[in-house]
Amino acid sequence: MAGTIRLEVVTPEKIVVSEEAHIVMAPGVLGEFGVLVGHTPFLTELKNGVVRFNDSQGHERVIFVSGGFAEVLPGQVTILAESAERRRDIDVERARAARERAQKRLAEMRAKEEIDFARAQAALQRAILRLKVAESGPQR
């Protein structure tokens, strides 16, 4: 691959990633997008999902992100996320418990037809995506 691009993934609490990557794939609100060195600049909102990138050694890495924004420049991708976790940092048992709570809440709401359905659905989606990241491969 020709060249690398700087990837920065930042939350309000910490810098999650700051390293060189050959390619970055991220979950934009209009669909997943990929970035290589020299990409045209743009700014987009992110949805909950998985950021994938190939590090400077060519290993694929994955990070769960919960919302935020991505700024793409020819030599850098900066992701400002509400929350972000590397695969190795996800507490699988906690994520499973969150999934179960969200599923239970959704089932109860369907029966009661409450308005908080979208919030419960979002919690379920976050838990499922975190588990997908945590269980998708070797810890890096």
16 and 49 in a single domain? The answer is: yes
Average pLDDT, the chain: 87
- Residue 109 belongs to a domain: yes
Residues 6+ apart with CB under 8 A from 54: 1, 21, 22, 23, 60, 61
- What is the number of other CB atoms lying within 10 angstroms of the CB of residue 98? 18
* Mean pLDDT for the stretch of residues 122-135: 83
Same domain assignment for residues 33 and 84 = yes
76 and 25 within one domain: yes
What distances in angstroms separate CA 48 from CA 27, 37, 108, 110, one per listed residue?
Answer: 7, 24, 24, 23
pLDDT confidence bin for 121, thresholds 50/70/90? confident
Whether residue 129 is found in the same domain as residue 72 = no
Both 101 and 32 in one domain: the answer is no
31: exposed, middle or buried (C-beta count within 10 Å: 0-12, 13-18, 19+)? exposed
> Same structural domain for residues 46 and 100?
no
Taking the model in full, what pTM does it have? 0.74
Number of domains into which the chain is organized: 2
